[in-house]
Amino acid sequence: MHAILDKARNKVDQAEVYHLQRRVLPVKFDAEGLSVIKVKQTEGAALRVIHEGRLGYSTSTDLAHPEAIVESAVATAAYGDPTDLAFPGQAIESVVGIHDPETGALSAERLVELGGAIRERTLAEADDIEVEVSVQTTVDHVRVVNTNGLDAEETRSSIDVSIEATRAKSGDIFSVWDSREARSINDFCVDDLTKRVRRLLTLGREVVASPSGSLPVVFTPSGSIALLLPLIMGLSGKSVFLGLSPLGGKLGEAMFDSRFGLVDDSRVITGAAASSFDDEGVAAQRTMLIESGQLRSFYYDLRTAKQADVESTGNGYKCGMIGGSNFRMAPSASLSNLMVSTGDASEEELIRGIKSGLLVDGVLGLGQGNLNAGDFSNNVGAAFLIEDGKIAGRVKNVMLAGNSYELLRDHLIGIGNTAEWVFGKLSCPAIAVNHVNVAAK
């Protein structure tokens, strides 16, 4: 990487090189059985430069010709955004536990064994379902160097398991999905991995009519993303700078129910985004976004922090708002590990407290609605009717709509006392809110 940096040093004001080596071993089972085992290896570098006060950017997997990478980045700087940001140069304190050497050394046979056991345990629940299982290990070696003296590198490893079970009948297809990520295969238990999928399959056997109107809804940890996505956007320093966030200018104010809290923390090793530094080389840190309902901070990468005249919160990542890493993407303000504070009731207790409403485990078309204003509007994927505090059956052809800011400020019923990691980067308990607009066909 220093070859690229050395070539750039004499041509630009500042330069930063991000280098990624990734090895992925996926094992997949489809409805017929084992279908895929193929090692995937990726190596590439991204060069970001500041030349004559403008940003330039290039990427390549051809690392044998550093001069071409530099020339490309310099050429794009002529059309890049003007900036006066400075790349970091401070030393990085390593986070312990991000890499498990045994995970990277796991054989395909061991993954097949785990995936097969998960598939068989799920199939044992019913004879009218099809099950797909994916188990994969990922080992990333990441290095960030720049002309301000930073040289940070580390290895990160994980093992991911996902399960999708589908029951198809005439006129009805019902699918449930779950995934888990850990640092070690020893952190997985087959029964625990399949428990939630098996429960949802049981709850979803009978289809019932859904009520319409302004109703209470319990969002499971997986379903809560529909409620939280507008907040994720609104808490972005970029959204605040552009004037798109309703939270702009509200720091220190009580914007939510006092029981609601939100933290971004890339140093928590149980989260998929755990790291010692972000993709810009800024040290990992814990950022309190919402504390007891009060707005405490936004999350920033280097560019948006400079624009807001604050320090980066170490949230410069090469991914989407909550997506996975891709070395070809330029870094932007993105979440690391987002954690919702827990409450004092179990999910079952939240359900028992509802006379008539819904339990929502997943939605379709995530991202619909005027998210910048806090509005969401989604068709439900897996959702269930609650009657007199009990699950009465599965509902279909139902749409939810509401405003996340209003629901979490004025209509919060309760928060579950146990959080689960969902989508790898979100640790969330069940969340129950009232006055969600429910429309059933």
- Residue by residue, pLDDT tens for the chain (441 residues) are 678 988 888 899 999 999 999 999 999 999 889 988 889 999 999 999 999 999 999 999 999 999 999 999 999 999 999 999 999 998 788 999 999 999 989 999 999 999 999 999 999 877 789 999 999 999 999 999 999 999 999 999 999 999 999 998 888 889 999 999 999 898 888 888 899 999 999 999 999 999 999 999 999 999 999 999 999 999 999 999 999 999 999 999 999 999 999 999 999 999 999 999 999 999 999 999 999 999 999 999 999 999 999 999 999 999 865 556 688 899 999 999 999 999 999 999 999 999 999 999 999 877 777 888 999 999 999 999 999 999 999 999 999 999 999 999 999 999 999 999 998 899 999 999 999 999 998
Residue 155 burial (10 A CB sphere; 0-12, 13-18, 19+): middle
The residue whose two tokens read 């939240």 is: 350
Rounded Cα distance between 423 and 425, Å, is 6
DSSP 3-state of 64? coil
Q: For the chain, report the end-to-end CA distance as a whole number of angstroms.
A: 58
Strands (E) located in 212-285: 213-219, 262-265
DSSP 3-state of 77? helix
Tokens of 334: 């993105």
Beta bridge partners of 44: 20
CB 215 within 8 A of CB 416: no
The DSSP code for 187 is G
* Element housing 113 (H / E): helix 108-123
Beta bridge partners of 161: 135, 180
Q: How much is the pLDDT for 8? A: 85
Beta bridge partners of 431: 219, 415
Rounded Cα distance between 98 and 154, Å, is 9
CB 273 within 8 A of CB 337: yes
Q: How much is the pLDDT for 313? A: 97
Q: How much is the pLDDT for 97? A: 92
Name all domains of the chain by residue range, CATH numbers in brackets: 2-203 (3.30.2290.10), 206-441 (no CATH)
CB atoms within 10 A of CB 345: 20
In this prediction the pTM is 0.93
Query: In sequence order, which residues have a C-beta less than 8 Å from that of residue 91 and are 6 or more positions away?
Result: none
Q: How much is the pLDDT for 101? A: 92
